[in-house]
Structure 1
Amino acid sequence: MKTRLFLYNLFVTVLMMSAMSMAGPSVASALDDSVLAGSVLGMKWQETALPDSLIWNSVAYGNGRFVAVAGTATDIYATSVDGRTWTQRTLPATANWRSVVFGNGVFVATGWNSNIAATSIDGITWTQQTLPETKFWWSLSFSNGLFTLGAANNLNTIYTSTDAITWTQRSMPAFQQWTGTAYGNGLFVALGDNLSGSNISATSTDGITWTQQTLPAKAHWQGIAFGNGIFIATAQMGQIARSMDGITWELVTPPTIAGWKEVRFGNGSFVVSSTGTNRSALFSADGYSWVEMGTPPYDYWGALAYGGGIFVMMPYNSALSYAAYLQVVL
């Protein structure tokens, strides 16, 4: 059966980006509904194939290549140099692969409910590694030279590493499911979550000693990114928050409500993916004024990565065999 990958080409001029930054939250409402439904600012769609129908949990970019891992008790993963043509490959172990990131010249993939990890310089040849514990490893992040690893076991600890081989346990200021970490303006920021939602975050200047902070709403905070001097945090209950310093946050109003999953920054822009049936993605230069981009007419977009001038978004649904990619040209 033919599988599909949708290509978004988003062509934005510097003038348009400046106008979006100054226009405030109403900028999205000024766009024609038909534009939002199918394309935004010249977005175009094309199709190509993914190698298999899996729950593609995570995607990362490094050394000229995208790497995507899947979470259905498999050793299958996929790579692409351009986001269009994907090649199926094999990891060194079978696992529910939850996360993959790139940092310090190496790809790192970690398994869910496992102590299995794998590392690779080129995204092709992998070495199996052993994590310090068997846990429901939920989040793996890299920023400012440091990998951070958090579990879904509602813990007051995370692990950090500079090489993804030797990990050191760090104390956190609260029992949380630590869902993601970003670095900017001299500060690491980690998001907290639990079964009923959370308004807890933590900050650190060195990734070792952490201080509890407060987010602007109780929610299932999932994604965090830093760019253009600001932090953006996203939640599966529809919230988006913005901060200049990682400590004081404000909620911003997106043009629609969805289960916001991941946020990535690249080429001067933030892009947010969503899970569920809303079928939306968001685009912003300043994290305050957001434009809704219609996604392909399918549900449960999740994993998101930026590299080589494009954003790649993967399906969080085992019935789907396609991905999407978005190019921003300034």
Structure 2
Amino acid sequence: MSQTAQIPPKAQTEAPPVSRWIGYTLGALGAAFFATKGIVIKLALIENVDALTTLTWRMIIAVPFFALIGWMGYRDKRRKQPDLKIAPITLVKAGLVGMVGYYVASYLDFAGLEYITAQLDRLILLTYPFFVVLFGAIIFRRKVSAAMVAALVVSYSGLIMIFGHELQLGGADVIIGSALVLGAAISFAAYQLLAKPLIDQLGARLFTSVAMSAAGFAVITHFLFVHPLSALALGPNAMWLMLAMGTVSTVLPAYLISASIGIVGPEPTAIMGNVSPVITITMAVTILGEVFSVWHALGAAMVLMGIFTFTRAERRVQKLAQKVPPAV
């Protein structure tokens, strides 16, 4: 998984035109770099590096960066609030939530890529906002509009179209891989809901540091149960891929997207994120040689159209909810 930047400083929505274009560019670049994740995993599989080993190297490389940024964030908070105290239970909760988002979701995603194409993987992952709203409706009784339901139907119709086509080619592997990646999308949606109150308490940088560190510990523990430590020794080509996974596909996009949010705000940055499936599909076809048929084109268009419509409908519901006085 994405691995994802939960670092939204206050957006400067009235930034000058030049700054806005810089923000849009940073957001698009961040989404593009995140989109390379599936391609790198597929290339690693060609080098006989399994998903868990790739995920372990991702954590080994990325966690120190996030830990450093988190420590800097904590230091800044202490300067502003010398009497700042953080309850240990809050840190424990942040660690557990981090395991959901950066261990469970990431592992399911990485494992799913052993069975399905990078294109289908990316499109399934894109549907996680549907589960965020679904969980919100069940747990917090948030409103779900007819437009949001229609958008969900459109997106999943597109996914079913691609799934049906690939099922004819890949058989049972497509079912297994799709189920794993769908589990990743559900796990990441749960992470999104659970992370929000903790980010409010700890600040985004400190939360991300704690969450990533805890997930890194879980990943490495899992690895040591399955493989000997010597399995981390890889050939030169594989090591270059591991370095790319930890930096280009994880750390760099996280902070590019954070910078974009800081300049233009979360909504424009999220819209720029829609370039990610296009990048993934292009790289999957050109680098991996994956098939891109008319069914893929129609299905991808439906998924993207549904997600775009869903996002707009969700924002309208949120704005209406803000205008309604709370019940007494």
**Structure (1 or 2) with the larger CA radius of gyration:** 2
Q: Whose helix proportion is higher, 1 or 2?
A: 2
TM-score by length of 2: 0.22
Q: Whose strand proportion is higher, 1 or 2?
A: 1
TM-score by length of 1: 0.22
